[in-house]
């Protein structure tokens, strides 16, 4: 069964510093994609970044980047130049089942605190 594991329940970072959130997953599929979602106190989940498994290059979106290690089944999120607005819960997610599915398997989440 596919599983997603986030081993850091809480992390904190100083404003303007860099922080890395970890995620590992388990799958037998070869072609898939992975997401990082952010859930601020407003509760609305927002997509931060997406990685296609077939792509060698790590995805980057402004201050957010991933370190995707397919063989190790690791998918970490790096936040550079952290801002107060980055404080939120972050979830790693994997679409369960191949192809066109709306079912996401989420990790347990990491609560990120940003200190001024």
Partner 1 sequence: KAGVTQTPRYLIKTRGQQVTLSCSPISGHRSVSWYQQTPGQGLQFLFEYFSETQRNKGNFPGRFSGRQFSNSRSEMNVSTLELGDSALYLCASREQGIRAEAFFGQGTRLTVV
Measured distance between the N- and C-terminal CA atoms of the chain, rounded to whole angstroms: 41
Give the one residue of 28, 30, 41, 44 binding partner 1; rule: CB under 8 A. Answer: 44
> Is residue 68 within 8 Å of residue 92, measured between CB atoms?
no
- The residue among 22, 49, 24, 44 whose CA lies nearest residue 112 is 22
109 binding partner 1? (CB under 8 A): yes
In the complex with partner 1, the residue whose CB is nearer, 42 or 116, is: 42
Distance between CA 79 and CA 100 in Å, rounded? 29
96 binding partner 1? (CB under 8 A): yes
Give the one residue of 28, 41, 43, 116 binding partner 1; rule: CB under 8 A. Answer: 43
Residue with tokens 């986030």: 6
Give the one residue of 13, 23, 27, 35 binding partner 1; rule: CB under 8 A. Answer: 35
80 binding partner 1? (CB under 8 A): no
């Amino acid at each position: 069964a596919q599983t997603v594991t986030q081993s850091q329940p809480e992390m904190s970072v100083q404003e303007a510093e860099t922080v890395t959130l970890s995620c590992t997953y388990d799958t037998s599929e070869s072609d898939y994609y992975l997401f990082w979602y952010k859930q601020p106190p407003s509760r609305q989940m927002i997509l931060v970044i997406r990685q296609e498994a077939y792509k060698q290059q790590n995805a980057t979106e402004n201050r957010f980047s991933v370190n995707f290690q397919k063989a190790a089944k690791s998918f970490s999120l790096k936040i550079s130049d952290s801002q107060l607005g980055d404080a939120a819960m972050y979830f790693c997610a994997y679409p369960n089942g191949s192809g066109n599915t709306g079912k996401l398997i989420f990790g347990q989440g990491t609560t990120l605190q940003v200190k001024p």
